[in-house]
Amino acid sequence: MLEIAMANSLLGLTNANQVSIYKFEEREGIPRVWISSQITSKGAQLHDDGISAPEDFFPITDFPAFCISRNSGLPHAEADLLVLPIILHSSRLYGFVEVAGAAPDSASSPSVASVLAIFTNVLALLDYSEIDTLTGLLNRKTFDEYLSRILSSLFKGDETKKPAMNKPRRRRAPPADQGHWLGVVDIDHFKTVNDTFGHSIGDEVLLLIANMMRQSFRGYDKLFRFGGEEFVVLLKPTSEKEALGAFERFRLSVESRDFPLVGRVTVSTGFARIRQGDQPSLIFDRADQALYWVKANGRNQASNFEDLIASGALKIKESKPEIEFF
């Protein structure tokens, strides 16, 4: 909604034909972008709804104007195209605003700069309330909202449309073998790290783990720190094989790293599919059961709740958890 409001303001200020917002991420050294929202005089389209996986990614090299703006950190204008980099207060590049058919003097307009400044300031306020101060990941209280949005989207179906903010027709329900997943990640023997090396070294391990999570998972997946050594991952639609692959990729990257002073660190993960009609606490409990099975059977593994049930390693326990998470 914030992106749409900014795009709408810029459309009027610049007398443009179209304003598009692209988000940015760099994974494995490859910088790329995907379209998030777009607005014209006919209305707005929301391409990245925060729940579905973006359909198309593009190398940033496909957009020469983006490359110039990224390198300079400044607006870039060419012909009737204006590109504005969105740089957060943490100096992280959030993405780009592409203004097509803009007035020639738009790049130097104080009003345009003010709209962009307001956008980044509001994002900073949202970050302050939603971000874990140590790791920079999303915090626990934000998790409730994201999971509720996923469950709501599954209940309503992907055909639901909002006035003046329609999803493009190509963005429909994912294939039947794909779904959202919730994973609970726990650092093995973390208490020993704190007791042996002190809490400052423990905090450094948490920071490194958080950075490795950002590198291992997709830019549009949601990563949370739940406190202590526990993290939660919400994967946007993908298959069970790809979900396991993502958690294994992260596990192996941690296992192969040499942590300063500490040396070898490992993580255990339990994950479960998010299904329509599930209660939030039940989904979390399934992933937690898988995690406890992993920790009781050697640690340093990633296991799917449904696979453990199918193999007989776990018995179905769908009773209400003793602790309410929501």
pLDDT at residue 163 is higher than 70? no
Look at residue 278 and give its three-state secondary structure: coil
240 falls within a domain = yes
Q: In what order do the strands lie in the sheet with 302-304?
A: 222-227, 230-239, 178-187, 267-273, 302-304
Matching residue, tokens 């989904």: 283
Tell me, yes or no, whether 63 and 93 share the same domain: yes
Question: What pLDDT is recorded for position 161?
Answer: 38
Number of domains in the chain: 2
323 falls within a domain = no
Give the model's confidence band at 2: pLDDT under 50 very low, under 70 low, under 90 confident, else very high: confident
**Which tokens hold the place of 326?**
């929501």
- DSSP class per residue in 65-125: HHHHHHHHTS-EEETTEEEEEEE-TTS-EEEEEEEET--TTGGG-HHHHHHHHHHHHHHHH
CB 213 within 8 Å of CB 183? no
- Known catalytic residues? 229
Q: What is the mean pLDDT of residues 196-209?
A: 96
Tell me, yes or no, whether 75 and 197 share the same domain: no
149 falls within a domain = yes
219 falls within a domain = yes
Give the model's confidence band at 181: pLDDT under 50 very low, under 70 low, under 90 confident, else very high: very high
Tell me, yes or no, whether 172 and 277 share the same domain: yes
Q: Which ranges in 157-239 belong to alpha helices (H)?
A: 190-197, 199-216
Window from 220-224, 264-268, 282-286 with minimum mean pLDDT: 220-224
Q: What is the mean pLDDT of residues 149-169?
A: 58
Tell me, yes or no, whether 163 and 198 share the same domain: yes
CB 237 within 8 Å of CB 270? no
When computed from its CA atoms, the radius of gyration of the chain, rounded to whole angstroms, is: 22
Dist. CA 243–CA 235, nearest whole Å: 7
User: What whole-number percentage of the chain has pLDDT above 70?
Assistant: 88
pLDDT at residue 82 is higher than 50? yes
Q: What is the mean pLDDT of residues 159-183?
A: 58
Dist. CA 166–CA 44, nearest whole Å: 7
Tell me, yes or no, whether 115 and 227 share the same domain: no
Question: What pLDDT is recorded for position 156?
Answer: 64
pLDDT at residue 26 is higher than 50? yes
**CATH number assigned to the domain comprising residue 304:** 3.30.70.270
Instruction: Tell me the β-bridge partners of 43.
Output: 40
pLDDT at residue 159 is higher than 60? no
Question: What pLDDT is recorded for position 307?
Answer: 95
pLDDT at residue 213 is higher than 90? yes
**CATH number assigned to the domain comprising residue 121:** 3.30.450.40
Tell me, yes or no, whether 167 and 68 share the same domain: no
74 falls within a domain = yes
Instruction: Give the range of the structural domain holding residue 281, as residue numbers without chain letter.
Output: 140-311
258 falls within a domain = yes
325 falls within a domain = no
Q: What is the mean pLDDT of residues 64-93?
A: 90
Window from 106-120, 167-181, 227-241 with minimum mean pLDDT: 167-181
135 falls within a domain = no
Q: What is the mean pLDDT of residues 155-176?
A: 48
Window from 171-180, 185-194, 272-281 with minimum mean pLDDT: 171-180
Average pLDDT, the chain: 86
pTM of this structure: 0.72
Tell me, yes or no, whether 199 and 262 share the same domain: yes
